[in-house]
Structure 1
Amino acid sequence: MKNNKNKKNTFVLYSLISLITAFAVCALFFFYELSAIDLPENAKEVRFEIPAGISVSEISNSLYEKNLIRSPKAFYLAARFPFLSLRKTSPVIKSGVYSLKTSMNVFEIFTLFESGQQEFIKTVIPEGLTIRKIARILETEGVCSAEDFITAAQNPDLIQKYSIPFETFEGFLFPDTYFFAPSMNAENVLLIMIENFFKKISIIPEFADKSVPDFYEKLILASIVEREYRVADEAPLIASVFTNRINAGAGLYSCATIEYIITEIQGRPHPDVITYDDLKIDSPYNTYKWAALPPGPISNPGLIALKAAANPPETNYFYFTLTDSDAGSHTFSESFNAHIKAGTQFKTKKS
């Protein structure tokens, strides 16, 4: 009887040990399934998108397909049953685009998804670009579609909201380095750039605290100066030349406005040279044919051009011509004869 009892106790003990061992093995295997795939020194970076409304099961399968987790089932169980991953609550996974590494374990992935710290696209918008050129950059970078951005930039309700006295936001998209999220709403992208414009011009007295109609002509002038200057110190002088021509009722004679007509209005490729036929194009933007400023900006200027146009120096210059193509510097002249002479000397020097 005693032997039977001992045998029974031994069986229970062995069963308990076996059960504990089996549980420990399962636990170790489960935690192994939650571990990182690669060591930090071998880690690869992977862009991972979580669309709004996606299920945990779909997320786990997608992570597995991108070789970011060992087991979709283990990820799903850990997310649905927090005690399995030693958590108090299930992770609240936020939609967005994340930068994951193959050296991250499931717990680190949960933490990132809960934080909502998305991957951002560093987008550089240079000075002097048009809306269409900016749109192409945004599409290439994966921020938003070019077509949607152009449509947003012509939204009449938004234009009215900002009291723009024209039909687009040309000139109001401040050139800067931006950090956008992937696949953003195009209108939101536009608004970020517009608000940045108004923030930046607040340091310029001639723009600050003024209504858009009050400074719109200076913005148009700045957009032309932006496309004409190459040396920062010359931007104010170029602005003074155009201001003197405006005051005298003469044409601005800006090749940049002709380029705008060809590329932005007519949709033709950027010309290598401006021809005499180009100078005859019937357009209000043709500053060779019509005096004064064109009806709207021809680019989106930066602070150098904006400051130059806001308060150009008083000079007697009516002309400028490029005389150092390497440095990008110009010679400024008061008379047409001096202007022709400067250009002739430059051509002689080149030849």
Structure 2
Amino acid sequence: MNRAVKIIIIVAALLLLAAVACVGGMFYVSGGQPVRYAQRTILQFSLSGRQADLNHAISNDTSPVRFTVNSGDTPHTIAQNLVNAALITDAQLFVDYAQLNELDTKLEAGTYFLKRSQTLSQIAVALTDSRNSFIPFRIIEGERIEEIAAKIDGAQAYFGFSGAQFIVQVRAGAPVVATFANRMGIPAGASLEGFLYPDTYQLPADVTAQMLRDILLQNFNSKVSDQVISDAAAQGLNMFQVVTLASIVQREAVHVDEQPAIAGVYRNRMNIDMKLEADPTVQYAIGFKGGTWWPQITADNYSNVQSTYNTYLNNGLPPGPISNPGVTAIQAVVYPTQSDYLFFRADCSTDGYHKFAKTFEEHVANCP
């Protein structure tokens, strides 16, 4: 064997050893996953010059965008859907970023509320935990069903159903769980007006109209204790009657601390079969007018609004609640202030409080 051949063999052997060492080193560094390591290295190199794109949002629009990841969606499918929703502009960049940061196996099925003001990297992270997505929703004491429905329509970026679809679930004739109806004394076929508990909610992102109804009813059920129901029954009142009167008290009282006094006036009137003459019942009968569900009324409306809800024309309680009261108004009806008052009117000081009177003459003189 001549010298030249020996040199070639030695060089080849060294190159082979170097290759083996290189592969072994890569195997060690990659934790036994050399192919994935190589892919990550390529992705790192590819994305190193795209940091501006990763940290750039499409716009400053902070409005929520409802986005759903379905079970079985691949990162490529999710990325393309994000492009279609105008949340990102580069589907492949999303896929590459998710793979590099090992988010591609963590993308979670569910409904999310994303924003176009979020960067691609923020969106990728957000899609790994659907538990962080919820719908903020508030019902204010004294609102009626239609006002709740209008709030749903005003937040369609969040909701997957309309206000009209919600009304179907709560209007007269809608089905209601028998145990709830029995506990609350709700007549067959009555609407659920009055029982949609006003509160601040964090609704699940996949909430449906029926689910929302059930959440509101469950909250109402939890707020009204057995003791309150028992004490009302001892006074000859079922909860449907209590809630009906509470819905009027809720609309009349500006201040919570005055609810028992106002409830006391109405209870006194009911005890002597005197008409309630409650303005909110006339407003409820009129319905939507002048851009509001609670329009200003005149003395003429007391007699010209022909409705079973008009307590200026009809004795006793209206057919059902006129709004959705809070628990303080309900408790005020069951535990009213004991007095001889039969009248009340807004105080001339316009601070929201009322003046109370035993006679009509005193009532007129309270704010001449």
Q: Are the equivalent residues in 1 in contact too, given 2:69–2:108 (CA < 8 A)?
A: no
- Which residue in 1 is equivalent to 2:174? 156
Amino acid in the other structure paired with 1:124: R
Deviations 1:281-321 (A, max 9, x none): 22111100011101100000012211111111221000001
Does the aligned pair in 2 maintain the 1:96–1:118 contact within 8 Å? Answer: no
- 1:28 paired to 2:44: yes
Match of 1:347 in 2: none
> Gaps (5+ residues) in structure 1?
345-351
1:206 has 2:228 as partner: yes
Report percent identity of matched pairs: 27
State the match for 1:2 in structure 2. 6
Report whether the alignment pairs 1:181 with 2:204.
yes
Aligned match of 2:297: 273
Q: What corresponds to 2:106 in structure 1?
A: 91
Where does residue 130 of structure 1 map in the other structure? 144
Per mean C-alpha deviation after superposition, the further-off stretch among 290-299 and 153-162 is 153-162
Q: Following the alignment from structure 2 to structure 1, what is the Cα–Cα distance between the partners of residues 194 and 277?
A: 20
Counterpart CA distance in 1 for 2:304 and 2:288 is: 17
From the superposition, tell whether residues 316 and 181 of structure 1 become closer, same or farther in structure 2 (CA, over 3 Å).
same
Q: Which of 264, 279, 284 is 2:308 aligned to?
A: 284
CA distance in 1, matches of 2:61, 2:46: 23
Match in the other structure for 1:348: none
Counterpart mapping for 1:1-351 below 5 A: 1-5=5-9, 8=12, 26-29=42-45, 32=48, 37-38=54-55, 47=65, 49-53=67-71, 55-56=73-74, 57-63=76-82, 72-73=91-92, 76=95, 90-91=105-106, 93-99=108-114, 101-102=118-119, 104=121, 109=125, 112-142=126-156, 143=159, 144-154=161-171, 156-158=174-176, 160=178, 162-163=180-181, 164-165=186-187, 166-182=189-205, 184-202=207-225, 205-207=227-229, 214-263=238-287, 270-324=294-348, 326-344=350-368
Are the equivalent residues in 2 in contact too, given 1:118–1:181 (CA < 8 A)? no
Say whether the 8 Å CA contact 1:122–1:180 is kept in structure 2.
yes
Could you tell me how far apart the structure 1 residues matched to 2:168 and 2:80 are? 37
Deviation digits for residues 136-177 of structure 1 (CA, Å, limit 9, x no counterpart): 112212334100110011253226553221521000011110
Check whether the contact 1:244–1:317 (CA below 8 A) recurs between aligned residues. yes
The AA in structure 2 aligned to 1:129 is E
Q: How many residues align?
A: 333
Distance 2:40 2:195 in 1: 64
The letter for the 2-side match of 1:185 is T
- Alpha-carbon offset, residue 29 of structure 1: 2.4
The residue number in structure 1 matching 2:29 is none
Q: Secondary structure at the match of 1:207?
A: helix
CA distance in 2, matches of 1:261, 1:157: 24
**Equivalents in 1 of 2:239, 2:314: separation in Å?**
21
Equivalents in 2 of 1:338, 1:53: separation in Å?
Answer: 70
Residue 341 of structure 1 and its aligned partner are, at CA, apart by 1.2
Q: Tell me the distance in 2 between the aligned counterparts of 1:260 and 1:5.
A: 101
Distance of 1:216 and 1:182 partners within structure 2: 32
SS at match of 2:345: strand
Letter in 2 for 1:304: T
Query: Comparing 304-313 with 248-257, which one deviates more in the overlay?
Result: 304-313
> For the structure 1 residues 182 and 325, does the alpha-carbon distance in structure 2 shift closer, same or farther, using more than 3 Å as the test?
farther
SS in 1 for 2:366: helix
Normalised by the length of structure 1, the TM-score is 0.78
Q: Partners of 1:27 and 1:95 in 2: how far apart?
A: 28
Residue 142 of structure 2 aligns with an amino acid whose one-letter code is G
1:63–1:15 Cα change, 3 Å: farther
For 1:176, the aligned partner's letter is D
Alignment check: 8 A CA contact 2:243 2:321 kept: yes
Superposed CA RMSD in Å reads 4.1
8 Å CA contact 1:128, 1:223 repeated in 2: yes
Contact 2:277–2:312 (CA<8 Å) still a contact in 1? Answer: yes
Kept in 1, the 8 Å contact 2:94–2:120? The answer is: no
Q: Structure 2 stretches of 5 or more lacking a match?
A: 27-36
Structure 1 residues 48 and 281: CA distance shift in structure 2, 3 A: closer
CA distance in 2, matches of 1:324, 1:170: 33
